[in-house]
A and B are shown apart, each in its own frame.
Chain A
């Protein structure tokens, strides 16, 4: 089907300084207007808010393709004076440790994240929109993704099992994660990480975000509904070569979205959506 518009929502796995899965899908749908409304650090609650706002503004319909890349379910985003701030993981978060200690609870995370997913799915179902759901890390397993842990409280397995069982039909609609499919459930498993200059300290670190090639591998593995031509695959590999051959800067200058064939409309271009 030739979509008229393609909307992508997610975190830095969706909108990054280099080509992501969303750009690849956009390249595969050249006639569709491409909105990348992802934001690095996003949790599920900001995605719910943004998708609902986007529907108010754009009125999703059967000619649209919407793909949501759900993020760590224990992430939490709050809109403050300076805009959205995110609690990402145990190292990178905008909130004080006391906040996390007092208020972070795995069951809370699951209840709110699954409710958000169900809300989004039912909205898009009711509007006959073609929609798919991807994931960065498993949305049911806290133990395998310790890096994304922000909880100081022990995970109560029996309580979580009830919630997961309750939302089984929703959870099943989310495709397997990058962590499982590409990283084989081990963030250290992928060699040849790109170099990235730290935005404050100017030190160079190995970037764990998927490379353009890894995004391509993921989309081909979990989203066979999207046909990726050989030409697009070749273009992705050109992007990949560039990312791996230089020290990348976190200022958004890397780009080369599928060899410069796609143009993102991003959140900053849409003033009516926060």
Chain B
């Protein structure tokens, strides 16, 4: 989920008869992904006719549901929610791996049991603890864990970070500009552009056919993203074909759906018009 077209929107565009749910959230970690998937199944009851794609993220993220919403600030090592003392006292990469490898296994066992079509993508390789410093696991405990979960990890497609960016987010140019709601301007936004999202899908998920006109559609969208000061809100003028991101008229599933993890995700259901 980003303020321009992502891999998820490209897949949705390619399957216009499918109702499209996007439960992604900026900065969200794998714990929150597990929680939302389980909650989404409780609400929507996944079936074998569903296509479910999970894009796992950096393990060094910490999600806390606080005061009515998930506080998802991304990597703890570069996240204002957690100070140095917290990191020193409570952050341990083995802990992150123990937590996230269990989450990844849980979700895969769960989706296998549903009998649906499912795929695992990844933002960075799971063994890259700190994507900015490109820190890989080396600790013996962590290596043991990777061995224990070897078959589970084998289900995850290579990451955006390694496939497109050669493990350096700033290796590709040109980058789009984003203006965040705080007013901060990011002149070189490292998030994948729409074209990069398409390139990623074509590289790691060739088994998933995409719409015939996807190249030309994405090319136009990409041009817009690269030539605009993109605002980090949902109301950006970047739309993919007939997929409209709801702005003022977000869908709600039921009366109590406000601000609750997966339930708040329900506010982000995209309708295909």
B224 on interface, CB distance cutoff 8 Å = no
- The interface residues of chain B, by DSSP majority, are classed as helix
**Could you tell me if B112 and A78 are in contact, using CB atoms closer than 8 angstroms?**
no
Q: Which residue from B92, B109, B113, B149 sits with its C-beta under 8 Å from A81?
A: B92
Interface string of A83-123 (1 = CB under 8 A from B): 00000000000011001000101011001101100111011
Interface residues on chain A, number (Cβ under 8 Å): 46
**Could you tell me if A56 and B106 are in contact, using CB atoms closer than 8 angstroms?**
no
Which A residues are in CB contact (< 8 Å) with B99? 45, 49
A166 on interface, CB distance cutoff 8 Å = yes
B67 on interface, CB distance cutoff 8 Å = yes
Most chain B beta carbons < 10 A, residue from A45, A103, A111, A159: A111
- Nearest CB of chain A from residue B217's CB, rounded to whole Å: 36
Given contacts A108-B64, A159-B68, A169-B42, contact A122 B109 (CB under 8 A): yes
Among B32-40, B154-162, B173-181, the one that faces the other chain is B32-40
B110 on interface, CB distance cutoff 8 Å = yes
Chain B contact residues (Cβ within 8 angstroms of A): what range? 35 or more
**Could you tell me if A80 and B38 are in contact, using CB atoms closer than 8 angstroms?**
no
Which A residues are in CB contact (< 8 Å) with B67? 105, 153
Bound complex: CA A123 to CA B145 (Å): 19
**Could you tell me if B102 and A105 are in contact, using CB atoms closer than 8 angstroms?**
no
- Nearest CB of chain A from residue B184's CB, rounded to whole Å: 24
B152 on interface, CB distance cutoff 8 Å = yes
CB nearest neighbor in B for A118 = B38
- Nearest CB of chain B from residue A234's CB, rounded to whole Å: 40
Which B residues are in CB contact (< 8 Å) with A153? 67
Given contacts A48-B102, A107-B260, A115-B34, contact A80 B65 (CB under 8 A): no
B66 on interface, CB distance cutoff 8 Å = yes
- Nearest CB of chain B from residue A221's CB, rounded to whole Å: 29
Which B residues are in CB contact (< 8 Å) with A114? 38
Given A81-B92, A99-B90, A162-B263, 4 other A-B contacts at CB below 8 A?
A: A115-B39, A126-B109, A166-B42, A272-B148
